[in-house]
Structure 1
Amino acid sequence: PRPMSFTGRAWHVFPAPAARVYHSLADVGGQLYMVGGCDASGRPTSALELYCPEVDRWLSLPPMPTPRAGAAVAVLGKQLLVVGGMGKDQRPLKAVEVYNTEEGKWRKRCSLREASMGLSVTVKDGRALAVGGMGADLLPRSVLQQYDLRKDVWALLPPMPTLRYDTSVCLLDSKIYVAGGRQCKRLVKAFEVFDMESRTWSSLPSLPCKRSYSGVLWDSAGRLCWLGGLRQGGIHQSSKFTKNVNIFDTNQGKLARQVRKYRADFAAAIVRDRMIVAGGLGHQPSVLDTVEAFHPEKRKWERLSPMSTPRCSASSIVIRDRLLVVGGVNQVPSSAHEILYVKEEEIL
């Protein structure tokens, strides 16, 4: 067979409903839902919008009962579970709401035990699992809680060994991996795993360094990929951008490393086994529009087509081998939305 090359085609700019940042994205049946976020004036919004790729347009749906930004969102069948986040008073929320995508209706559900933002959520056997968070006192939590949609009840599971919020969470088989996060101004290197069968936590090798605004991805082989970011300086040192890419294999317990370009606060995703990074901040004075792809097996970087609009703090999601980068910031909240179509092309 002929060798294959990974090619990024031109970005497709798709319609923008409104400038938005710190919103949440979800994929239900190949349709993109955008939940809440901060509008151009910086206020949390209750907006819910649906992007239909087939007709290339947005639809406004019934708004959430509670305006919020930075909410955790889980997909439970045909329903969107929206948990916590930041409210209009700039404080964490305990409100939990569910949107039925078939009925087009919101329902208020059992609230969290305490207000929380910076939660990380995953789904196992139709139940949502929420990890960590920041409480109303703005301090980190170690809580692990499980939500049963049918019973509308939250149950506490054994807490994490490490207090934190804004973690990266991945569910592999019956284990929940939790990497990094924050404790107020302090970054966390802790890497821990919860075994749902034995209901116990274990510690894994810590992350190589304390980094914020990095890209964190999990591939289909169960590897944690930690890309770039802003490395926290010491007492007499300033923070610096890093170009490190660290890959931890959860099956073998090994750590690999690769490098490319200094950047932080970028969109990151895995598409067809490649890690893609788009936009962000670097040593340049302006926001980046550059896009690159890394193949973990070949340990090779490739430059793809740049985004039409430079930005950082964008939300991103992969739907049907397409990378959608939605909103973000370029001095002010951005209304730019773009889709990267990628394909394998034969080398003649």
Structure 2
Amino acid sequence: MGADLLPRSILQQYDLRKDVWALLPPMPTARYDANTHLLANKLYVAGGRQCKRPVKAFEVFDAETRSWTTLPSMPCKRSYGGVLWDVTGRLCLLGGLRQGGHQSSKFTKNVNIFDTNQGCWLKSEETVAMKTKRADFASAFLRGRMVVAGGLGHEPSALDTVEAFHPQKKKWERLSPMNSPRCSTSSIVIRDRLLVVGGVNQVPSSAHEILYVKEEEYL
């Protein structure tokens, strides 16, 4: 087995003022391709893979106490998904790969929601799946809506589709597609705009696009 397939549990912290790296307590579960989300002083790590096999591990690191806590395992194994935090204190895991290896990979459109207040996962009937199965996509929370863009699915090339969850209608709706289909992008939200930068289709991309969600689109 090649060294690039070995899962790691290392957690490191960079101090900009001192220009030094420091080791922090390692993750309880070694993995790669995990879904992560930082909220205040807590880093949530969900899923990932060990030697091409996805895992259900779900853990959180508290930067103040410098300690890890093991949370209830995810309802299904997955990697390469999206992770968003909504305004009600819930962590939402979107899509991803449910099996390992390129030939046996299974893309999913499932949405799993963890209620941090109750410390449990919502039942499947309380969630609404995305329209399109996808993994390795851009995701963001804009004006009360979950938005996903691009990624990989059951298509010969990367996706250009974009969709958003409308909380009042309780359904996913299609938005204007990206000009450039791609996956493995970088993204950031600035002033109600989702910026999707770079990525890969068949070759690395230098494209960048902006999605702006207007207030009237909620009505």
TM-score band by shorter chain is 0.7 to 0.9
1:248 aligned to 114, 119, 125, which one? 114
Q: Is 1:291 the equivalent of 2:162?
A: yes
How far the C-alpha of 1:194 sits from its partner, in A, is 2.3
Rg comparison, structure with higher value: 1
Q: Which amino acid aligns with 1:211?
A: R
Find the counterpart in structure 1 of residue 39 from structure 2.
172
Cα 1:213/1:173, change in 2 over 3 Å:
closer
- Answer whether contact 2:178 2:209 (CA < 8 A) is retained: yes
Question: Which structure carries more strand by proportion?
Answer: 1
Find the counterpart in structure 2 of residue 258 from structure 1.
128
Q: Which amino acid aligns with 1:285?
A: P
Cα 1:201/1:231, change in 2 over 3 Å:
same
Distance 1:346 1:323 in 2: 15
How far the C-alpha of 1:298 sits from its partner, in A, is 5.0
- Answer whether contact 1:172 1:222 (CA < 8 A) is retained: no
Cα 1:302/1:185, change in 2 over 3 Å:
same
Distance 1:335 1:223 in 2: 34
How far the C-alpha of 1:218 sits from its partner, in A, is 2.7
Cα deviation digits, residues 132-166 of structure 1 (max 9, x gap): xxxx9432322233332223333333222111233
1:338 aligned to 205, 209, 212, which one? 209
Q: Which amino acid aligns with 1:259?
A: A
Distance 2:95 2:38 in 1: 23
1:219 aligned to 81, 86, 108, which one? 86
Distance 1:303 1:347 in 2: 13
SS at match of 2:43: strand
Find the counterpart in structure 1 of residue 56 from structure 2.
189
Cα 1:155/1:335, change in 2 over 3 Å:
closer
How far the C-alpha of 1:221 sits from its partner, in A, is 4.0
Cα deviation digits, residues 45-85 of structure 1 (max 9, x gap): xxxxxxxxxxxxxxxxxxxxxxxxxxxxxxxxxxxxxxxxx
SS at match of 2:215: strand
SS at match of 1:323: strand
Q: Which amino acid aligns with 2:154?
A: H
Find the counterpart in structure 2 of residue 239 from structure 1.
105
Find the counterpart in structure 2 of residue 143 from structure 1.
10
Find the counterpart in structure 2 of residue 163 from structure 1.
30
- Answer whether contact 2:47 2:79 (CA < 8 A) is retained: no
Moved more, 316-325 or 253-262: 253-262
- Answer whether contact 2:107 2:133 (CA < 8 A) is retained: yes
Q: Which amino acid aligns with 1:251?
A: N
Find the counterpart in structure 2 of residue 302 from structure 1.
173
Distance 2:31 2:214 in 1: 39
Distance 1:201 1:314 in 2: 29
How far the C-alpha of 1:312 sits from its partner, in A, is 2.2
- Where does the alignment leave 5 or more consecutive residues of structure 1 unmatched? 1-135
Runs of 4+ in 1 over 6 A off after TM superposition: none
Cα 1:165/1:303, change in 2 over 3 Å:
same
Find the counterpart in structure 2 of residue 208 from structure 1.
75
Distance 2:58 2:218 in 1: 41
How far the C-alpha of 1:220 sits from its partner, in A, is 4.4
Distance 2:59 2:218 in 1: 43
Pairs aligned (count): 211
- Higher relative CO (Cα under 8 Å, sequence separation at least 6) belongs to 1
Q: Which amino acid aligns with 1:214?
A: G
Find the counterpart in structure 2 of residue 320 from structure 1.
191
SS at match of 1:229: strand
Question: Which structure carries more helix by proportion?
Answer: 2
SS at match of 1:339: strand
How far the C-alpha of 1:286 sits from its partner, in A, is 4.0
How far the C-alpha of 1:205 sits from its partner, in A, is 1.0
How far the C-alpha of 1:292 sits from its partner, in A, is 0.6
- Answer whether contact 2:150 2:178 (CA < 8 A) is retained: yes
Cα 1:173/1:315, change in 2 over 3 Å:
closer
Q: Which amino acid aligns with 1:258?
A: V
How far the C-alpha of 1:241 sits from its partner, in A, is 1.7
- Answer whether contact 1:292 1:303 (CA < 8 A) is retained: yes
Distance 1:317 1:149 in 2: 21
Give me the CA root mean square deviation: 2.7
